[in-house]
Chains A and B, each alone.
Chain A
Amino acid sequence: MRTKPPLPPAPPPWSAALLPVPARAGPGAVSLAIAGGREARPGPGGPFPLRRSPGWLCGAARRGGPSIMTSALENYINRTVAVITSDGRMIVGTLKGFDQTINLILDESHERVFSSSQGVEQVVLGLYIVRGDNVAVIGEIDEETDSALDLGNIRAEPLNSVAH
């Protein structure tokens, strides 16, 4: 039984910094950039040079073009974020990982349900993977401002979905 998943010899350019999930995650594991994964991996000097710069985000640039600025989620890793989904829900959690299609890993997440009749309800969700198709906005939450919020007194209509 292998302790590590097999590493392909020629990764597509955009996935160069994506780390294979450790074997304990099981055969259905997806390959995402995971916070903390760098430290956890043993370093045999393998084919994936672990680098800080988001090389995989600059897909086309890695083929030798000019460096392309990317609008990356790297800065939000390990921070508390508010994810607004395409169906109008708001999920708050710690961003642990993401990939090119904006699939997300959210830890310690909860949904904030807004209603016009009663205060904000928080529903605990735990560890979530949100598929990128369903992500609309990712907001970086300012902890200070957030703890000062009186959620019990906020009244608002739930957000609309992005479809019409």
Chain B
Amino acid sequence: MHATLFYSFFKSLVGKDVVVELKNDLSICGTLHSVDQYLNIKLTDISVTDPEKYPHMLSVKNCFIRGSVVHYVQLPADEVDTQLLQDAARKEALQQKQ
């Protein structure tokens, strides 16, 4: 299993509220339930940020999002030490190169 930095990062965020913005422009808000090595994301207690425009998920409470369709994951700023993350990412990129 290669590049596990962000996998570990998301694991540390389990239980937090996040907004996942998908490549099809759908934004889903929910509690991060679990993540896997492909960065597939499971959210519980979801709500679509614009339910008028996207009523498609009205009867869905929990969902599984395939990692490949995620555009962004919006996180609460105080949950992340961005300096730490940047340094760690730099280190991992270096390791990957070798």
Contact B60 A141, beta carbon cutoff 8 Å: yes
Q: Does A40 contact B (CB under 8 A)?
A: no
* CA A134 to CA B72, docked complex, whole Å: 19
By the criterion of a CB under 8 Å from any partner CB, how many residues of chain B are at the interface?
33
Contacts of B58 in A (CB 8 A): 145, 149
**A87-114 with Cβ < 8 A to chain B:** 88, 90, 102, 112, 114
* CA A32 to CA B47, docked complex, whole Å: 31
* CA A90 to CA B56, docked complex, whole Å: 8
Partner pick for B36 among A69, A143, A145, CB 8 A cutoff: A69
Q: Does A50 contact B (CB under 8 A)?
A: no
Residue among A60, A73, A141 facing the most chain B CB atoms (10 A cut-off)? A141
Given A69-B14, A156-B55; 17 other pairs, CB 8 A cutoff: A71-B40, A72-B34, A82-B56, A82-B60, A86-B24, A88-B24, A90-B56, A102-B66, A132-B66, A136-B22, A136-B66, A137-B64, A138-B63, A140-B63, A145-B59, A159-B26, A162-B22
Show the binding face of B for A, using Cβ within 8 Å: 1, 11, 14, 22-26, 28, 33-37, 40-42, 46, 53-66, 69
Sample 16 A-B pairs with CB under 8 A, ordered by A number.
A57-B36, A68-B37, A70-B36, A71-B33, A88-B24, A136-B24, A136-B65, A136-B69, A137-B28, A137-B69, A138-B64, A139-B64, A145-B58, A154-B55, A156-B55, A162-B24
